[in-house]
Amino acid sequence: MKKLILAASAVLGLATPSMAADMPLKAPPATAIAAVYNWTGFYIGGHVGYGWGRSTLADIDNFCLGISNCPNPPDRYNFDGIVGGGQAGYNWQTGNLVFGVEVDFSVSGIDEKTPLIRTTLTLATKIDWFGTARLRLGYAADRALFYVTGGLAYANVANSFLDVGCGVPCFLESSDVKFGWTVGGGLEYAFAPNWSVRAEYLFVDLEKNKKLDVSCAPACRFEWENRLNVARVGLNYKFGGPVVARY
C-alpha cells in the first residue's frame, strides 16, 4: 500500500510542472486609447457680432475753408452697428499645427450720422456689407484651436457730408466698393464630432474713399479713411472624420 502511495505521489509531482506549462497565460491589461480631434476638412458656418470704427475726412487741397465756407477737415467721427453672415473654409492639420483658408461675407447695420461741434456740418458713414478672404495659422490643443489670420478685405462703403453754412448747402457723397486688408485672431472649440464654436476679432483697413466737391466754389478734393473693428461669435459644421485614435 505504501508503495502505491509513493508511486502516485511521484507521478503527480512529475505531471504538475507540465500541466502548469500548458495553462494559458493571463492577458496583459488593455492600453487606454485617447480620441484626439483632427481639424482637417471643409467646413461651413454662420456668425453674428458687432462692428465699430472711425472715419476720417480730409481736405487734400487744404484751402477750401479759406476761400469758401465748406468743411475744413480733417474731421473724425466714430461709427458702429450689428453684423452677421456666413463663412466657409478648409483646414489641414499636421501635428499640432493647423493651416487653413477661409472666406466670409457679412451684412452690416453700420449707419452713423454725426453732427459735429459746428452744427452746420453733418458727417455720415454707412457700410451695407463687407467680406474677407484670409489665411489661417493655428495651434491645436486637441479640441481647442488657437489661431491668427489675415488677408484681403472688401466692403460697400458710403461716406457723405452735408454743410448748410456754405451760403448754399454743400452736399458730398462717395459710395463704392473698397478693398483693403485685415488681420486678427480667435479661438475655436469642437464641442461635438463635427460641430465647433468660435470667438474671433478682426481689424479691417479699407482704401480711401475719394470725391471731388463741385458744389462750392472753388472745387475741392476730399477723401475719407475708414477703419473697422469686428468682434463676432460663430458656429461651424465640419465635413469628414473628426477624430484620430492615439495609443
| Average pLDDT per consecutive 10 residues, the chain (247 residues; last block may be shorter) | 49 48 53 73 98 85 50 73 97 97 96 70 89 98 97 94 67 85 98 96 92 61 89 96 51
Instruction: For the chain, give the number of residues.
Output: 247
Using the Cα atoms of residue 212, residue 215, residue 219 and residue 224 in order, give the sign of their dihedral. Answer: negative
Closest CA to 125 of 161, 155, 150, 153: 161
DSSP string, 162-186: EES-SSS-EEEEEEEEEEEEEEEEE
Domain assignment of residue 1, yes or no:
no
User: In this structure, is residue 64 part of a structural domain?
Assistant: yes
User: Could you report how far apart the first and last alpha carbons of the chain are, in Å?
Assistant: 62
Does any domain span residue 25? no
Domains of the chain: total: 1
Nearest to 55 by CA among 236, 205, 243: 205
Which of 93, 45, 90, 95 lies closest to 195, judged by CA?
Answer: 45
> So what's the pLDDT on residue 224?
87
pLDDT for 214: 58
CATH number, position 192 = 2.40.160.20
> What is the pLDDT, as a whole number, of residue 76?
82
Residue 64: predicted pLDDT:
55
Q: What is the pLDDT of residue 176?
A: 87
Domain of 137, in residue numbers = 35-246
